[in-house]
Amino acid sequence: MDRLALVLVIIGAINWGLIALFRFDLVANLFGGQDAVLSRIIYGLVGLAGLYCISLLFRERERVGTK
């Protein structure tokens, strides 16, 4: 679940970067405009993934290779 959320957040970050730099909304372009149902679903999933990733800030890190 963590990786899926992270991938969605990265997609959202890339999309916002494209909007800021080039005024190009990749999600809207791929899925039929900002008001298209599929675009709104993608935007919603990215938003939920961002909220989920907040929990990553408060989790204790797992230590690999320590005894």
**Helices (DSSP H) in 1-67: which residue ranges?**
2-22, 26-31, 37-57
pTM of the model: 0.83
Distance CA 9, CA 45 (A): 9
Whole-number pLDDT of residue 61: 79
Kindly state whether residue 27 falls inside one of the protein's structural domains: yes
User: Is there a domain that residue 32 lies in?
Assistant: yes
Q: Is residue 65 part of a domain?
A: no
Please tell me the total count of domains within the chain: 1
Is the residue at 61 inside a domain? Answer: no
Per-residue pLDDT, 62: 75
- Residue 66 has a pLDDT of 61
Domain of 18 in residue numbering reads as 2-55
Amino acid 67: pLDDT: 58
Cβ-contact 56, 2 below 8 angstroms: yes
- Indicate whether 24 belongs to any domain: yes
Instruction: Please give the single-letter amino acid code of residue 53.
Output: C
pLDDT digits (tens, 9 = 90+) for 4-63: 999 999 999 999 999 999 999 999 999 999 999 999 999 999 999 999 999 999 988 777
What does each C-alpha distance from 66 to 2, 59, 63 come to in angstroms? 23, 18, 6
